[in-house]
A and B are shown apart, each in its own frame.
Chain A
């Protein structure tokens, strides 16, 4: 029995969820999940910086 009344729109989105990522995260501790989030933030920031630099040298 589902915990929530299925919403067709949410169910449609659910098909594209990468469950391997979820399973990987569920094996981590909460602390490791936050460390991973901060690493992802640093990576995103580095990409933004590189994008800005590339636009300036164009």
Chain B
């Protein structure tokens, strides 16, 4: 269960808007400073940890860049959209950012209202209006990976990759 303040975004929010090209090869904490700078400058200073992004169709369409990682570095609580790009969604799974596809969600909320999201029964509720919707269910294996920080912690625990050194961790501090 997650509760957070809603920020409304429109249709077709692409990955170049979420994470602009000049910053894609930088550490996540640096990437986070440029989120939505073309379409909503200043938003990163207004939002707070745990806030919820509510958007229309095709959220996250575009490139494979780690746009979810930049949102995670901002401590975005969850992304809800009428439809979510498949590649963006799998990056949410891989990087551990909670995201659900919920047709009609863009009409369920007004800016600043409070959202409550259950990842057990995939209910998305507007605490302000009392109305709710069902999100598209996500298989247990994927929700579990999202909630546990994505692919890297899994591969570390299985010995496929070495955990980051303290120095590397500092450099990439906002990443995992």
- A, B bound: no
